[in-house]
């Protein structure tokens, strides 16, 4: 008997994405199904296709805070993030790229 084959995707689908299997289309409102293929193998055995999709909201980021920026003066900025729990943010200070990891919504900026 041949071993089962699987097709997987490690990242979730976003709300507007669809996935098609044979003539059926799956989306956020229809993410699961089992399709039975009768007599699908050369030996006459049935086959199953199991569809189970995970959806998440799109990731978005906004930096809010002081609108007046003066050289040498401190300022207060806050991350407004959605679509996940923790984020990796890459930004530039004008001279080099900087990275922040594990940032959560509402965390103060650097």
Q: Which of 5, 1, 70, 102 is nearest to 42 (CA)?
A: 1
* Helix, coil or strand: residue 32: strand
Per this entry, what is the length of the chain?
110
Q: Quick one: pLDDT band at residue 3, thresholds 50, 70, 90?
A: low
d(CA 66, CA 73): 11
pLDDT digits (tens, 9 = 90+) for 66-102: 878 888 888 888 888 887 778 888 888 788 998 888 8
* Domains of the chain, residue spans: 13-56, 60-103
What predicted TM-score, i.e. pTM, was given to this entire model?
0.49
Q: Reply yes or no on whether the pLDDT at 47 is more than 60.
A: yes
């Amino acid at each position: 008997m041949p071993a089962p084959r699987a097709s997987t995707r490690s990242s979730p689908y976003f709300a507007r994405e669809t996935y098609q299997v044979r003539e059926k289309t799956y989306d956020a409102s229809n993410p699961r199904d089992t399709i039975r293929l009768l007599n699908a193998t050369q030996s006459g055995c049935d086959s199953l296709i199991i569809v189970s999709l995970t959806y998440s909201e799109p990731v978005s980021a906004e930096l809010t805070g002081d609108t007046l920026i003066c050289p040498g003066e401190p300022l207060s900025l806050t991350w407004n993030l959605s679509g996940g729990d923790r984020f990796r943010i890459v930004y530039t200070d004008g001279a080099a790229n900087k990275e922040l990891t594990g940032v959560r919504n509402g965390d103060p900026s650097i």
